[in-house]
Amino acid sequence: HHKMIMQILSAALETFPTALLSWTVWKCSACGRAQPEEKKILFYHPNEVEKNEKIRNVGLCEAIVQFTRTFSPTKPAKSLHTQKNRQFFHEPEENFWMVMVVRNPIIEKHKDGKPVYEYQEEELLDKVYSSVLQQCYSMYKLFNGTFLRAMEDGGVKVLKERLEKFFHRYLQTLHLQSCDLLDVFCGISFFPLDKMTYLKIQSFINRMEESLNIVKYTAFLYNDQLIWSGLEQDDMRILYKYLTTSLFPRHMEPELAGRDSPIRAEMPGNLQHYGRFLTGPLNLNDPETKCRFPKIFVNTDDTYEELHLIVYKAMSAAVCFMIDASIPPTLEFCRKLDSIVGPQLTVLASDICEQYNINKRISGAEKEPQFKFIYFNHMNLAEKSTIHMRKTPSVSLASVHPDLMKILGDINSDFSRVDEDEEIIVKAMSDYWVVGKKSDQRELYVILNQKNVNLIEVNEEVKKLCATQFNNIFFLD
Amino acid sequence: MAAAMGRDPPGPAEDEAPGAAAAGAAAGREGGGEEGEGRARGGAEAGGCYLALCARPVHFEKANPVNCVFFDEANKQVFAVRSGGATGVVVKGLEDRNPISFRMEDKGEVKCIKFSLGNKILAVQRTLKSVDFLNFIPDSPQLEYTQECKTKNANILGFCWTSSTEIVFITDQGIEFYQVLPEKRSLKLLKNQSINVNWYMYCPESSVILLSTTVLGNVLQPFYFKSGTMAKLSKFEIELPAAPKSSKLSLSERDIAMATIYGQLYVLYLRHHSRTSNSTGAEVVLYHLPREGSCKKTHILKLNRTGKFALNVVDNLVVVHHQDTETSVIFDIKLKGEFDGSTTIHQFVLPPRSIQPYQIPVAGPASVTSQAPVPCKLYSSSWIVFQPDIIISASEGYLWSLQVKLEPVVNLLLDKGKLMDFLLQRKECKMVILSVCSQMLSEPERGSLSVIATVFDKLNNEYKKYLEAEQSYTMVVETGLSRSNPLLKRPVRTQAVIDQSDMYTHVLSVFTEKKEAPHKFTIAVLMEYIRSLNQFQIAVQHYLYELVIKTLVQHNLFYMLHQFLQYHVLSDSKPLACLLLSLESIYPPAHQLSLDMLKRLSTANDEIVEVLLSKHQVLAALRFIRGIGGHDSISARKFLDAAKQAEDEMLFYTIFRFFEQRNQRLRGNPSFTPGEHCEEHVTFFKQVFGEHALMKPTTF
C-alpha cells in the first residue's frame, strides 16, 4: 500500500489567489409547485448582480443538479469545474441548495511583453471547498436554526431576512485563499490534561450546573482548546469553530493591547477574580446594561433546542453555559453567575496552568517538535497540527508552502476513496517528503525536510514520530 | 451510716449536702449563681437523645445499714459487703457476668475493697494504718495477711492495684509501691516517695496516679507505674478561677477527672463559674499529660451554664451532665475549635439533650403479675459517676455504662462535613455513615454536590490513611524489618474505614438503581466519588467504572463516555476494554477506544489480535503482531481461517504467502507441517490460484 509520487512543483510566480465570485441559496422548484424563478432565490451574493442574471445563474445551477441527479440519484453532484471557476453544490436540507462559486487562482505571465493571465484549473481541492460550504451552513444553522424552521416561523420572508443578516457579514470572514486540509477536518483541538485536573474541572462544571440550575449544557475550554463538552459532538464541532475563529480572537486583541484591565474589585465584598463575560453584559454595575446573549440552535435533527450562549472567561479558561432560550437571563442572574463562577474559575485556571507546566516538564514536551504534522481522528474529531500558527480573527495560517498543503489535501482525497488502512509517501520539491498514514479512523500527515534520505529512512522517521507522539493509541505502523 | 458507698477514696459526698445522700458525688460542687436555665425535660426531647444507659446494667443490692457497696474503677466491679463480709460479699462486674461470692471474717468496718487485676488477690482496707490481703489463686495459702504502711504516723488514704500482684498505698505523706508475694503471704516494698498528699486519683487505663499536693491542693503530681517500676512525671499546677482567699484546700477531687481521650491521657478540671471573671459559665479545662515532657493546658470546653456537673468520657467524647437541667452535652476535642495560640476552645457539638429515658426492668423472671416497667429517675441526686463511662444509682442498685447513640446525631448536626468529622471518630460509625451517604443522595434531603464532595473527601481521607498504614506494614514485614521492631502491629481497620466496596454496595449501586434523581446528578455524584478517590491517590475499582458506564449508556450519553475515556478518567483495564467492545454495536467508536486501551495495557496483545481477526482485519492483525515481533509463533491456521472468512482472495493469497515465507525462513521449506493443520487451506489455495502458485522451496 505504499504509493510513491514524484511531483515537480513549479516555482511561484505572480499569482492572484482564489476569490469568492458568488454565493446563492435557493429552493428547488422541481419538487414543489412551479414558482416564479425569482421567488426561488433566497439569498444572492453579490446582491448588485442584475435580477435576470441572478435568475439565469440559479436556473443553470438547478439544471446541472437535476441533470446530474439522473446519473447518480443518491450522490448528487458536488462541484463543477470550468476553466475560470469552480462551483460547489450543497443540499443541506431537502430542496434547499447552497451554491458557492469561486474563481480559480490566476498566474500572470508575460508573453511578448504583454501580461497573460492563466487560470489554474487544478489548484483548488474539491474537498476543501465543499467542506467550507457545508460548514457555512452549519454555522448558519447554529445561530438561526434550520431553513425549514424559518419557513415555518414566517415563510420565505423570514428565511430571506435571516439569510441576509447572517451571510452578509459571514461571507466577509471567509478567507478562501487560505483554506486547507484543516477545513476538511473541521476538528477540535483538545487540551492535554492529567486525570486529576480533568476531574477537578468535571467537579467544577457539575457544581456550577447545580448552582445555576437553569444551565442545560456546559462546555469548558482552555487556551482555545476543548476540555469538556456537554453538547453532542456535531454541535460542539461548529460551536468550537465559532469560539476559536470568531469570538475568542475578537476578545484576544483588546487583551493583548492591554486595553481592558481584567482585574476587578468594583463590587465591595466581592472576591477579586479575573472572570468576565465574552457574551452578554459588558458592565455588571450598570443597571441599564443589556443582558443579551447570542441564541444558538442545537440537536436540530432531534429535540431542536434553542439556547442562550453565555461565554464567560477567566484568564485562559473559558466556560460556555447554555441555558434554555425560554428563560431570558436577567442582570441578577448574570451577577450571580459572576460571583459564583468568577472566583472558582480563576482558581481553576491557575491550577490548570500550573499542572500543565508540570506535565510539560515531566514529559519533556517543551522541546519544539521536529516534525510538522497534522493528525485527525474521525471518531472524536481530535485534531492536532504543528503546521498551523495560532488562529487569529483573520486567518489560520499554515507555516509551510501552499504546494505542500495541496499535497496533503490530495492524499486526504485518496484516503477518503477507500475504507482500508493506507500509507502514502510523496517526494515533493526541494528535499521535502510528505507522508500520509491512515489507520482505522485516524489520519496522520507528516512533512519532512531532510537532505539525501531514501524512502526507507523516511519510513523510519515516521515510525519514530508515531512512537513518541502516538504511543498511547492503537495506530498501526 | 446512710450509704457506705464511696468513690475510690472513701466517701467524698459525706461532708456535704445534708439530706440528699451522695448528691455531691454525682453532680460536683455547687457552682456560682443559678442563672435560671430552662429545665429541658428529657421526655420532651426523647427523639434527639444521643446518650443512653446500657441495656444490661449490673444490678446489686442497694446500700443500707447492713450492706456496704464499693466500686472499683480498675476492674469495674461493684462489691456488696454484708455485715463486714461475714454474711457474704458479692462482686459483680460489667464485663464478667458471673458474680463472685465469698465470705470473710468481720474484722471491722470495710473502708475499701478491691481485687487485683484478674481477680487474683483481694485487698481490704479496714484501718487507717494497714491493708489486709486474701489470695484467690487456686492452691495458694488461703489465710489473710496484712501490710502496714511503712511511713510512721501516716494514714492510708487508699490503695490501687497496678497489676495482678502490684499495689500502691497512698498515704497522706506519700506513696508506697509494693509487690505482693501471695505464696509467702507477704509484700515487698519496691519503692516509696514522700510527699504531702491531700487526695489522690487513679486512672487504671494508663496506670497513672495523680496526687494533690500543697496547701491549696492545686499542684498535681502524677506517677506512672509499669511492671515493677514507678516513674515520677513532671508536676503541674491547675489554675484556679480566682485567687483563693485563704490558704485552705481549694481544689477538690470532685472537680478533677482523668481519662484517656484519643489515646492520650488528660486531666479534666471542672472550673466553676466565678462571679469575678467575665466567663459566661463553667468550663472544663483539659490538661494533656504526656508520658514524657510537661503537662500542658490544651483545651477548654465551654459549658455556658452553671450549676452541678458531672463528667464522663465515652467513645473519646467528653460528656458533661448538668443536674439542674437534667441534660448532658458532649465535646469532641478532635473537632475544630477556636485556637487562641495555646489552647483550643470548644463549644458543645450537639444541643443539650437528656439521657434517653430508661425503664428499669421488673425484677424476677417468674413474676406472675406482668408489672409495667418502672421509669428510672435520670440525673438523680443519688447518681454517682465514675470514669470513664460509669453511672451508678446507689439508691436503686444499678450500674450502667453510658453509651453514645449515633443515629440521633444525624438529625442534630446539620453541617454534613462536621457530622462526618464527628462520626468518623466514633467506634460504631460505619452503618450510620453509610446511611448518611444514602440520605444525602436522595430526596427529600438531597445534599448539594459540594457537600457530597466534602463528605466523600472526608471518607477517603480516612480510607487512604488506613491503606497507607497497611501498605507500610506489609512493606516492613516483607523486607524482614519486622523482627527488629517488635512493637510493629498490623494496622487496625476501624469502622471509619469506608472503602469502595462499602460505598458501592450500600450507597452507590442502590442510588443509581433507584433512578429517582436526574441522570445529570447521578453521574455528577459518581464522578465526584471517583474524583475524590483520585485526589487521595486510591486506585479506583473496576465496578465503579462499570457503574459510570452503565449509567451513561442507559441515557445514551456516549459522547460523555468518549470524553471520559479520552482523558483516561476511567483507567485502563482488560475488563473495561472488553466492556467497551461489547458497546460497539450501539456506539461504534467504542471499538477504537477499546483497541487503544488494549494497546496501552501492553499485556493484551493476544486480545488485540483476536479483536482484529474478528473484524476480518487480518492484515492489520498480522502487521500488529509483526510490529511487536510475535509473528514467528502465531498460529498460521488462525490467520488463514480469518482470511478465508473475509472472502477476499487477494487477502487470502497475501496471508498464505506470508506463512509460506515464514516456513521457508524458519524451516527452510515453504510447506506447512501436518501439526499446523493447514491442509484445507493449501487445497483451497491450489483451487483458486493453481498448484504452480505455491512457493517453491529455495535451496542454497
**Tens of pLDDT along A390-404?**
555 455 567 788 888
Closest CA to A409 of A182, A187, A189: A182
Contact A198 B450 (CB under 8 A): no
Most distant pair of Cα atoms in chain B: their distance: 125
Closest CA to B590 of A442, A380, A381: A380
Residue reference for cell 471518607: B459
Q: Which residues contact B102 (CB under 8 A, 6 or more apart)?
A: B88, B89
In contact, A428 and A404? CB cutoff 8 Å: yes
Residue B683 phi, psi (nearest 5): -60, -45
Nearest to A193 among B560, B567, B589 (CB): B567
Specify the pLDDT at position B382.
84
Contact B531 A193 (CB under 8 A): no
Closest CA to B146 of B105, B104, B180, B100: B180
Specify the pLDDT at position A278.
92
Q: Is the peptide bond before B141 cis (omega within 30 degrees of 0)?
A: no
Q: Which residue has the higher pLDDT, B700 or B158?
A: B158
Most confident option among A12-16, B27-31, B115-119: B115-119
Residue A6 has pLDDT above 50, yes or no: no
Cα(B571)–Cα(B531) distance, integer angstroms = 12
- Tell me whether residue A237 is exposed, middle or buried, using C-beta atoms within 10 angstroms of its C-beta: 0 to 12, 13 to 18, 19 or more: buried
Angle, helices B449-478 vs B416-424, to 10°: value is 30
Q: Which residues of A touch B (CB under 8 A)?
A: 190, 193, 195-196, 198-200, 202-203, 206-207, 209-211, 228-230, 232-233, 377, 379-380, 382, 421, 440-441, 472-474, 476-477
Residue B424 has pLDDT above 60, yes or no: yes
Q: Is the peptide bond before B674 cis (omega within 30 degrees of 0)?
A: no
Nearest to A195 among B568, B600, B619 (CB): B568
Residue B394 has pLDDT above 90, yes or no: no
A476 chain-B contacts, CB cut-off 8 A = 620, 623-624, 627
Binning pLDDT at 50, 70 and 90, where does residue B628 land?
A: confident
Residue reference for cell 535451496: B699
Residue B228 has pLDDT above 70, yes or no: yes
Nearest to A206 among B449, B595, B598 (CB): B449
Cα(A42)–Cα(A164) distance, integer angstroms = 9
Specify the pLDDT at position B14.
32
B608 chain-A contacts, CB cut-off 8 A = 474
C-alpha cell read off for A279: 457574551
Specify the pLDDT at position B9.
36
Nearest to B527 among A190, A199, A210 (CB): A199
Computed over every residue of chain B, the mean pLDDT equals 85
In contact, A192 and A386? CB cutoff 8 Å: no
Specify the pLDDT at position A70.
86
User: B231-257: per-residue pLDDT in tens?
Assistant: 999 899 988 877 667 778 888 888 999
User: CB contacts < 8 Å between A and B, how many?
Assistant: 82
Cα(B427)–Cα(B496) distance, integer angstroms = 8
Specify the pLDDT at position A349.
94
Specify the pLDDT at position A34.
58
Mean of pLDDT values over A419-448: 88
Least confident range of A73-77, A367-371, B386-390, B408-412: A367-371
Mean of pLDDT values over B507-521: 88
The residue type at A22: S
Closest CA to B131 of B117, B145, B118, B143: B145
B561 chain-A contacts, CB cut-off 8 A = none
3-state secondary structure string across chain A: CEEEEECCCCCCCCEECCEEEEEEEEECCCCCCCCCHHHHEEEEECCCCCHHHHHHHHHHHHHHHHHHHCCCCCCCCCEEECCCEEEEEEEEECCEEEEEEEECCEEEEEECCEEEEEECCCCCCHHHHHHHHHHHHHHHHHHHCCHHHHHHHHHHHHHHHHHHHHHHHHHHHCCHHHCCHHHHHCCECECCCCHHHHHHHHHHHHHHHHHCCCEEEEEEEECCEEEEECCCHHHHHHHHHHHHHHHHHHHHHHHHCCCCCCCECCCCCCCCECEEECCCCCCCCCCCCCCCCCEEEECCCCCCEEEEEEEEEECCEEEEEEEECCCCCCHHHHHHHHHHHHHHHHHHHHHHHHHHHHHHHHHCCCCCCCCEEEEEECCCCEEEECCECCCCCCCCCECCCHHHHHHHHHHHHHHHHCCCCEEEEEECCCCEEEEEEEECCEEEEEEEECCCCCHHHHHHHHHHHHHHHCCCCCCCC
Least confident range of A246-260, A312-326, B398-412, B531-545: A246-260
At B689, which helix (H) or strand (E)?
Answer: helix B679-689
Least confident range of A166-180, B138-152, B394-408: B138-152
Question: Could you count the other beta carbons within 10 Å of the beta carbon of residue A466?
Answer: 19
In contact, A207 and A358? CB cutoff 8 Å: no
Q: Indicate the Cα dihedral angle A341, A347, A351, A352, nearest 10°.
A: 30
Residue B316 has pLDDT above 90, yes or no: yes
Q: List the single best residue of B559, B569, B591 to mutate versus A (max A Cβ within 10 A).
A: B559
Residue A239 has pLDDT above 90, yes or no: yes
Specify the pLDDT at position B41.
38
Binning pLDDT at 50, 70 and 90, where does residue A31 land?
A: low
User: B298-311: per-residue pLDDT in tens?
Assistant: 999 999 888 889 99
Cα(A28)–Cα(A34) distance, integer angstroms = 9
Contact A440 B592 (CB under 8 A): yes
User: B100-140: per-residue pLDDT in tens?
Assistant: 888 888 888 888 999 998 888 999 998 898 999 998 888 87
Q: Indicate the Cα dihedral angle B664, B665, B668, B670, nearest 10°.
A: -10
Q: DSSP readout, B66-85? A: TEEEEEETTTTEEEEEEGGG
Mean of pLDDT values over B388-408: 90
Cα(B129)–Cα(B566) distance, integer angstroms = 84
Check residue B64 and report its DSSP letter. Answer: B
Nearest CA in chain B to A474: B596
Q: Which residues, listed in sequence order, are joined to residue B283 by a DSSP beta bridge?
A: B271, B302
Binning pLDDT at 50, 70 and 90, where does residue B59 land?
A: confident
CA contacts within 13 A on the Cβ side of B18: 0
Closest CA to A384 of A248, A230, A185, A223: A185
Binning pLDDT at 50, 70 and 90, where does residue A263 land?
A: very low
B446-475 residues touching A, CB cutoff 8 A: 448-450, 453
Cα(B423)–Cα(B648) distance, integer angstroms = 67
Residue B39 has pLDDT above 50, yes or no: no
In contact, B160 and B168? CB cutoff 8 Å: yes
Distances (CA, A) of B174 to A370, B124, B131, B169, B210: 86, 20, 16, 8, 12
Distances (CA, A) of A6 to A9, A425, B224, B485, B608: 10, 10, 94, 75, 36
A233 chain-B contacts, CB cut-off 8 A = 559
Mean of pLDDT values over B323-337: 92
Question: Is the four-CA dihedral B93, B98, B104, B109 of positive or negative sign?
Answer: positive
H helices, E strands: number in chain B: 17, 33
Residue A463 has pLDDT above 90, yes or no: no
3-state secondary structure string across B269-303: EEECCCCCCCCCCCEEEEEECCCCCCCEEEEEEEC
What distance lies between CA A284 and its chain's CA centroid? 32
Residue A322 phi, psi (nearest 5): -115, 125
Mean of pLDDT values over B664-669: 88
Specify the pLDDT at position A391.
53
Cα(A476)–Cα(A473) distance, integer angstroms = 9
Residue B24 has pLDDT above 50, yes or no: no
Q: Which residue has the higher pLDDT, B375 or A47?
A: A47
Specify the pLDDT at position B288.
94
Cα(B308)–Cα(B598) distance, integer angstroms = 71
Residue B21 has pLDDT above 70, yes or no: no
Contact A477 B520 (CB under 8 A): no
Binning pLDDT at 50, 70 and 90, where does residue A33 land?
A: low
Least confident range of A56-60, B431-435, B559-563: A56-60
Mean of pLDDT values over B501-508: 95
Mean of pLDDT values over A214-222: 95
Nearest C-alpha of chain B: how many angstroms from A194?
7
Residue A39 has pLDDT above 90, yes or no: no
Task: Tell me chain B's radius of gyration from C-alpha atoms.
Answer: 38
Residue B36 has pLDDT above 60, yes or no: no
Binning pLDDT at 50, 70 and 90, where does residue B410 land?
A: very high
In contact, A134 and A161? CB cutoff 8 Å: no
Specify the pLDDT at position B270.
92
Residue B27 has pLDDT above 50, yes or no: no
Residue B5 has pLDDT above 70, yes or no: no
Nearest to A380 among B524, B531, B562 (CB): B562
Computed over every residue of chain A, the mean pLDDT equals 85
Contact A195 B567 (CB under 8 A): yes
Binning pLDDT at 50, 70 and 90, where does residue B468 land?
A: very high
Contact B596 A473 (CB under 8 A): yes
Q: Which residue has the higher pLDDT, B364 or A291?
A: A291
